[in-house]
Chain A
Amino acid sequence: MATGSNPLASLPVEKASGWKLFLKTVIARAYPRIIGQQREKSWVFFDIFLPMLAISSYVFVYRAIGASEDYVGFVVIGGAMTAFWLNIMWSMSSQLYWEKEQGNLALYIMAPNSMMAVLLGMAVGGMFATLLRAVVIILLGSWFFHVQYVVVNFFQLLAVFFISMTALYGMGMMSASLFLLLSREADHLAQLAMEPVYLVSGMYFPIKAFSFWIAAAASIIPLTLGLDAMRQLVFQSGATLGFLSVTVELTILSILCVSFLIGARALLAYMEKLAIREGRLTESRR
């Protein structure tokens, strides 16, 4: 290897450590999520087109059964939020499994950076890239189906969105550690978490339709309360169809937020040790 011929090899490398390394890792892992996902135009198209198809189908169902127009808005908002759930399952939870399949996971572990920073970078980048898609879905859905919004409290709406997203991505970081141990079953388990989660979190209908205890149990998924609170804040009939008051939902979301982030850290440390002990970091059972 003639490294001397490479002009970059003679340049001094600035070595980071501590919080600087943590931050650099977050940025480095977020970069491909934000930039890379925009480069592949087919992904941008499919990420918007597929939820739009589902939204349109459910909107026409509501119209066929004579629902009020607010329900159309419920579907549009819920459909846009599915983009975040898809991102959580396919680009957060399954990510470490895919890295393992590609042979990158061992490199992540060997590198002197924190795995928590890697997960956080994936979360931040994924959240930002998905936000762009969700905004387009809402704009298109609102335009196609003439959705009327009546925003009650804009600051509360922003708070609900960001706290529920933090809790949701914290949950994604936790599940990513769990998927670290999985192999072929990872894809199937991610598939299993699609329709059942859309059902229990009330993506296309108010969660109040369930009994109190079912809705309460479903609230462990941050999207459930996040969606319910957002709908209460942007639709005329939202408050009457809400599960709990927005303040209570915000409080619960904040608790979930902290719990999932702490849980993700603990679970990641445990799972990483377990995976190393059982030799699962490099296995590839196709």
Chain B
Amino acid sequence: MQNISALNRSESWRSFWMATWLGWQIESNWTDPFLFAVYSIVKPLASAGILVVMYTVIAKGNFNTPIFPYIYFGNAFYIYVGAVMSGISWAVIDDREHYKTLKYMYIAPIHIPAYWLGRGVARFLTGSIAVVITIAFGALFLQVPLDLAKVDWPLFFVSLFTGIAMLAMMGLILASITLLIAHHFFLIGEAVAGALYLFSGAIFPLDVLPAWLRPVGFAIPITYWLELMRRSLVGNVAQAFPTLSHFSNLQLVGILVGLSVIFGIASTFIFRFCDYRARERGLIDRVSNY
């Protein structure tokens, strides 16, 4: 009975839900829970640790400057970019080249974009654990100014969910492009994430970039998303930097929503195009053995 009711659900929802479960199994069952917990904690803390030590060496341990929480929160929330965006696109290579199941996914009664988005949910969950641990560590041990009573929670949740949706759409675009490329281009996800890390002002204000590079940062929705996340948690700190200070919170939300809608529409068309090309060129079951 359960199986019949599962089949009666809408194709997209069913695909998304089953892919979420599958993604979680793949992400988590490669080892025992202890090592998985260590893996989930150590990596993000080490990544934050590099920036903390760099800052400490120069600032001689003075954490009470606006730039420190700017760097710390930007780096913490950027974990979502790698997790969600690269996670969704990696599912294509994982299924096609590693498990060799992409062709079976294509002939199964599932909705492929919804399936990919579902595969990204597991990375979103592990990413969320990493974000929470990183921020908690900063607040407890590094004097990161976080007062839960002063957090603008409505702005926080609106920004968080809009941002995650935007990242998912970007991931879908990357996944669609990945359909057309061979396995040995597997670093494309990392390259995009690395470029966005640099240009979105995740760990330094955009004003530090050379003037001719700043427009790239202003064109990236992640710039606005990270600013909103900082403002919702530590409003006065985020507004100390001139980069986006002339925008109100509402304007930033508007820009983020607008760009997310644009990416959403673009992802639909790019998926249709790449999907058609991949079928036409016989790339769905291509295995390059790298």
Contacts and interface: CB of A to CB of B under 8 A. Distances in A.
Interface of A: 40, 42-43, 46, 49-50, 53-54, 56-58, 60-67, 71, 102, 184-185, 188, 191-192, 194-196, 198-199, 203-206, 209-210, 286
Given A63-B208, A64-B205, A205 B39 contact: no
Interface of B: 30-31, 35, 38-39, 42-44, 46-47, 49-51, 53-59, 67, 71, 98-99, 184-185, 187, 190-191, 194-195, 197-198, 202-205, 208-209, 289
Contacts of A184: 30
A228 to B, nearest CB: 14
A65 B194 CA distance: 21
A60 B57 CA distance: 15
B139 to A, nearest CB: 20
A250 B35 CA distance: 35
Contact of A205 (B30, B54, B202): B54
Given A50-B194, A195-B46, A195-B50, 16 more contacts: A42-B184, A42-B185, A50-B187, A54-B194, A57-B194, A57-B202, A60-B198, A61-B55, A64-B204, A64-B208, A188-B31, A192-B38, A192-B39, A194-B43, A204-B50, A205-B53
Grouping DSSP codes into helix (H, G, I), strand (E, B) and loop, the A interface class, with mixed when no group exceeds half, is helix
A65 B191 contact: no
B54 A46 contact: no
Contacts, number: 105
A195 B208 contact: no
Nearest to B241: A64
Contacts of A102: 289
Contacts of B289: 102
A42 B35 CA distance: 34
Grouping DSSP codes into helix (H, G, I), strand (E, B) and loop, the B interface class, with mixed when no group exceeds half, is helix
A71 B30 contact: no
19 contacts: A42-B187, A43-B187, A50-B187, A50-B190, A53-B194, A53-B195, A56-B198, A60-B208, A62-B58, A65-B59, A185-B30, A185-B31, A191-B39, A192-B43, A195-B46, A195-B47, A196-B43, A196-B46, A209-B53
Contacts of A195: 43-44, 46-47, 49-50
Contacts of B59: 65
B46 A198 contact: yes
Given A192-B39, A199-B46, A61 B191 contact: no
Nearest to A187: B30
A46 B187 contact: yes
Contacts of B51: 61
Contacts of B35: 185
A192 B194 CA distance: 18
A286 to B, nearest CB: 6
B47 A286 contact: no
A185 B39 CA distance: 11
B198 A286 contact: no
Contacts of B53: 199, 205, 209-210
A196 to B, nearest CB: 4
B197 A53 contact: yes
B138 to A, nearest CB: 15
A65 B58 CA distance: 7
A198 to B, nearest CB: 6
Contacts of B197: 53, 57
Nearest to B31: A185
A56 B199 CA distance: 10
Contacts of A43: 184, 187
A193 to B, nearest CB: 10
Contacts of B42: 192, 196
